[in-house]
Structure 1
Amino acid sequence: MPKNSTSTPLTTAQRWAVAVTALAGMMVSLDALVVTTALGAIRVALHASIEELEWTVTAYVLTFAVLLLTAAALGERFGRRRMFVIGLALFAVASAGCALAPDVGTLIAARAVQGAGAALVMPLALALLGTAVPADRRSRALGVFSSVAGLAVPLGPLLGGAVVTGVSWPWIFWLNVPVVAVLIPLALTRLQESSGPPARLDPGAVALATAAALGIVWALVRGNTAGWGSAEILSTLTAGVLLAVGFVWWQRRATEPMLPMHLFGSRAFSAGNIAIFFEWGSALGALFFMAQFLQTGLGFSPARAGLGLMPWGAMTFIVPQLTGLLIGRLGERPFIVGGLGLHAAAMTWIALIAEPGLAYWQLVAPLVVSGIGVATALPATQSAALSSVAPAYVGKASGVYSTMRQLGGVFGVAAVVAAFAAGGSYRSPQSFSSGFAVAIGACAALSLVGALSGLATPGRRPLPPAPAGRAQEGEGRPGDGALAGERVAHRVGGDATVADPVAGP
């Protein structure tokens, strides 16, 4: 009987690919959160208003989410490694611009450019990892990637508070420069160049995708401030949705689509993307309010609040590596459904016990359960979305996955803030705790929706014989169906199985 592929170790080149891409993923994820504990110092130093502070956070998320699909398309057209390195360089330059910003307007502009660099880095990191590691070992590599990149969630607030306290706020941005200085030569020497099928870049598709994402994200970011029923929000959200419909119509007619619609014929691909949307929305929404509850409700300092989240954060580093080893044997479904079910249960637990002066030890167990759940589901959603597509389309698939993750985060934070406003306020610890309980309950609901979407992930099944006349691997045309060479096979106990082949158009 052939050796079980899940026990086959990664090669040296594959380990380097995991290390470089995971470190880059952690860096860009970290900058979405590290600024949160520095806002007080930034307000004083740059005389910023509350709305300007909000834009210091959201400008990064906005360009990050809006440009992900475009960035993935650029990588497919001009080379994934080349555009990955350009994204790293742009991120470093923008980080220096943030650190040197003489006023808050310049800081917001630099943060927007930083988000554009991150949009190039994240999907192409996943694409480079997906092409460097064979499908039968990819779930293990994605587990490591998730562990390292997941460190950004607990480390962001903690690192931001520590740097601001120990040095000064510009150093949260200066730290990115030496990291990029190490990553760029490693990327050039340790990663192999790859690209998607030869195709021209479609300006119309790029414009529609960018404008659609901008309209939707703008509405989500501004909804709670401007009012969900305001003309600004209704018009931008409607425009975003209509432009998204136009983008789909455009892609279905294109001979060389920027996003082949046949990818969504894969149940695994679609379910993985829906699951990460709700998972990341629930996780970021919970983190947003947990850090505040520890300070407002329990009286913790910012640094102590960061430490208080470490039981949750430790799980996001440990668990994905274990999950990655098991996905190849059991498939993604049990990890998505079970992980998000655990997170939903933990959120419900916290919502039921939340009150001012709550003893911290009572939060430790649900924080650990939540961290295990989130960390269990994350590599499974990645595996479902990336391992179910042909190697030629992994770049486009990673762009969709990263976009859904960022949009889910924006949607989740907006949803739980609205839930908080309906149930409480910042007027007193009691009022805050009441709103916090409602917000955390909303996080539980989002996680349950993600778990239900995971049920749509197909079970593992025998690899069917290749249809006659189909193209071989690497020769697929955009728009082709389940090509014989494009199925991602896994060997489990000697039996070849496949994670939902890409369906035809």
Structure 2
Amino acid sequence: MTGPADDSGPARPAAGADPPADAPGPAARAGTSAPPTSTVVEYRSARGRWVLVATVLGSAIAFIDATVVTIALPRIADELDATTADLQWTVNGYALTLAAFLLLGGSLGDRFGRRRVFLVGVVWFAVASLACALAPTVGLLVAARALQGVGGALLTPGSLAIIQSTFAGEDRGRAIGAWSGLGGIAGAIAPFLGGWIVEVTSWRWVFGINLPIAAVVVVVALKAVPETLDPGAVRRLDVAGTALAALGLAALTWAFTAWTEDGALRPTVAAVLAAGVLALVAFVLVESRAAAPLVPPRLFRWRPFAGTNAATLVVYAALSGVFFFLVVTLQVVSGYSPLAAGLAPVPVTLLLLLLSSTSGALGVRLGPRLPMTVGPLVCAGATVLLAGIGPSAPYLTDVLPGVLLFGLGLAAVVAPLTTTALASAPDHLAGVASGVNNAVARVAGLLGIAVLPLVAGVGSAGLTDPGTLADAHRVAMLVCAGLLAVGGAVSWFTVPSSADAVRPPADRHEV
């Protein structure tokens, strides 16, 4: 590829694109299961490849940054004289604002243009990265990290919403599968890249490297990505809904983070956790009465949308718990080096890269119910195998079989789940659907890391005590296996067997 090729000339949003699904009269039934023809891009075309480059690199900088920063923490502590709490908030400040504003990012894209908001997020993220790289004190670093999270919240749902509104049919499934697989590769490369940067240069370049990547994304997106939006969306923002969603998600993020750090539910943490739950309850009530809601409540009345996000919650909570305990247990209990433990799950990433695109296409062709049911069940079986890891566990016999089986199950479910989460909302709400699903996955990850160690009986020193962790690992893996099985069952009972039946009624020309 030599440059972002434009196969079909300048693409413009169709004037007759999908109206809001609850609009009165025949217009409410004017939706379509494909994007407007003037914005459709073929997956195998040069332009389709460049759309993938822009969306994958854009979402990757947000994901990679969250990973490589952890590697740089010791150097940051030495240079900026940071305390343990400072380092924790260097990581968590980003997660807090990212989770808090994901819903807003998706909604803004639908209202003002998905490419436009995606590009604003990329530029915002790059500027905040520069502020991180130049930060003279740890306080300014934490503040810049929080700004990075806002940029990540603008670009993350936008990357998937662009794919949803640019590709159609089986091409859409393939594109989402490729996005998942290539994102997995970025996740696998991140620890090596971060370690190399910190080792040979300075921790500041962990943030500085985002600038040239962001520049490539901006150039490619401007030349190759068509602009799409919901022409029927009200331009004014749902201020009350936005504030309540941000407050609720931020409070939950802070409370679960503090709970994990303390190992106990202090009264302050419990109060913030309760405030977060109450804010989200108030958000639901406000949205049900808002004229232009941030998240239209009618989406959750459609069983495939509600069921897919419920499956996302339990499956991603289990995934975060499995990878967390696997890497820690291999080091503390089995005696692996940090590098060897970090490499142990790499086959999962490779299987995602090899199989996700095919899995996404098969999910469209055969229907999402089967892969979304079988995939989590296969992962559950693999997790039971991984529960047997103990002292001096040989990789080839005690670890690799479970990791390979887990990778096969994950490759089966990730792309169809993501495709269904987007397809079960009207196309003009692709940004909202992506924002909801991303927010659910983020909260699920926090739940997995925060609650699972407590349920497994890790205790305050359990993560460094081989005897305690060996027992806790077994319990944690069995709990994760149960969650994965629940995810498969939820998918079986809520997700249609046909890809066409996933579409909400207005997109299938029904009332």
Alignment TM class, shorter chain as reference: 0.7 to 0.9
Partner amino acid, structure 2, of 1:260: P
Asked whether the equivalents of residues 100 and 246 of structure 2 are also in contact (C-alpha less than 8 Å), the reply is: yes
Of the three residues 341, 345, 352, the one matched with 2:377 is 341
How far, CA to CA, are the matches of 1:432 and 1:463 in structure 2? 46
> Which of 321, 324, 339 matches 2:357?
321
Give the match for residue 505 of structure 2: 482
> In the alignment, which residue of structure 2 is the partner of 1:312?
348
Cross-structure match for 2:479: 442
Q: 1:170 aligns with which of 164, 186, 204?
A: 204
- After TM superposition, the structure 1 stretch with the greater mean CA deviation from structure 2, 391-400 or 159-168, is 159-168
**In structure 2, C-alpha distance between the alignment counterparts of 1:320 and 1:462, rounded to whole Å:** 17
Distance change >3 Å, CA 427–CA 150, structure 1 → 2: closer
- Alpha-carbon distance in 1 for matches of 2:43, 2:101: 35
Q: Which residue of 1 aligns with 2:421?
A: 385
Structure 2 residue 174 is the aligned partner of structure 1 residue 151 = no
State the alpha-carbon separation in 1 of the partners of residues 118 and 429 from structure 2.
Answer: 17
Q: Specify whether residues 429 and 422 from structure 1 end up closer, same or farther in structure 2 by C-alpha distance, changes over 3 A only.
A: closer
2:327 & 2:494 partners in 1: Cα distance?
A: 33
2:328–2:463 CA contact under 8 A, matched in 1: no
- Residues 24-64 of structure 1, C-alpha deviations (whole Å, 9 max, x = no match): 12221222222233333333333322222222222211111
**Structure 2 residue 491 is the aligned partner of structure 1 residue 454:** yes
Measure, in 2, the Cα distance between the counterparts of 1:90 and 1:322.
Answer: 34
Is 2:387 aligned against 1:355?
Answer: no
Deviation at 1:462, TM superposition (A): 9.8
In structure 1, give the amino acid aligned to 2:166: A
Query: TM-score, structure 1 length as denominator?
Result: 0.86
Q: What is the CA distance between 1:84 and its match in structure 2?
A: 0.8
Does the Cα contact within 8 Å between 1:275 and 1:453 map onto a contact in 2? yes
RMSD: 2.4
Matched residue, 2:467: 430
Aligned to 1:60: 94
Q: Displacement of 1:67 after TM fit? A: 0.5
User: SS where residue 198 of structure 1 aligns?
Assistant: coil
Structure 2 CA distance for partners of 1:121 and 1:386, relative to 1, 3 Å: same
CA distance in 2, matches of 1:462, 1:399: 21
> Residues 442 and 52 (structure 1 numbering): CA distance in 2 closer, same or farther, change over 3 Å?
farther
Residues 1:33 and 2:67 aligned together: yes
TM-aligned CA distance change 1:397 to 1:428, over 3 Å: closer
Match of 1:195 among 229, 233, 252: 229
1:71 to 98, 102, 105: 105
Q: Which residue of 2 aligns with 1:275?
A: 311
Please give the alpha-carbon distance, in whole angstroms, between the structure 1 residues aligned to 2:456 and 2:341: 20
Report the secondary structure of 2:227's partner residue.
coil
Measure how far apart 1:94 and its partner are: 1.6
Where in structure 2 are there 5+ consecutive unaligned residues? 1-41
Distance in 2, matches of 1:45 and 1:432, equals: 33
The Cα shift of 1:117 comes to 0.8
Cα distance change, pair 463–31 in 1 and its aligned pair in 2 (3 A): closer
What letter matches 2:490 in structure 1?
S
Which range moved further: 447-456 or 63-72?
Answer: 447-456
The answer for the alignment partner of 2:58 in structure 1 is 24
Shift in CA distance, 371/461, structure 1 to aligned 2, threshold 3 Å: closer
The structure-2 alpha-carbon separation of the partners of 1:289 and 1:422, relative to structure 1 and needing over 3 Å to count, comes to: closer
Following the alignment from structure 2 to structure 1, what is the Cα–Cα distance between the partners of residues 243 and 163?
A: 28
> Corresponding residue for 1:102?
136
Matched residues in 2 for 1:300 and 1:175: separation?
Answer: 30
In 2, Cα distance between equivalents of 1:350 and 1:344: 10
Aligned residues: 465
The 3-state SS of whatever aligns with 2:68 is coil
Distance 2:338 2:263 in 1: 30
* Alignment match of 1:45 (pick from 79, 84, 88): 79
Return the letter of the residue paired with 1:222.
A
State the Cα distance separating 1:124 from its structure 2 match.
0.8
**Any idea what SS the aligned residue of 1:201 has?**
coil
CA distance in 1, matches of 2:349, 2:214: 24
How many Å separate the matches in 2 of 1:143 and 1:427? 37
Cα deviation for residue 114 of structure 1 reads 1.1
Contact 2:331–2:341 (CA under 8 A) maintained in structure 1? yes
Provide, for residues 410-429 of structure 1, a one-character-per-residue CA deviation record: whole Å limited to 9, x for no partner: 11111223235447714433
> C-alpha displacement at 1:159, in angstroms?
3.0
Check the 8 A contact 1:64/1:119 in 2, yes or no: yes
Larger deviation: 243-252 or 412-421? Answer: 412-421
Q: In 1, distance between residues paired with 2:181 and 2:456?
A: 30
In the superposition, relative to structure 1, how do residues 267 and 10 fare at CA in structure 2: closer, same or farther (>3 Å)? farther
Q: Which runs of 5+ in 1 are unaligned?
A: 1-7, 465-472, 474-480, 489-500
Mapped partners of 1:45, 1:252: distance in 2: 50
Q: Deviations over 1:338-368 (max 9, x none)?
A: 111121221221112x222212222111111
Q: Distance in 2 between matches of 1:112 and 1:375?
A: 32
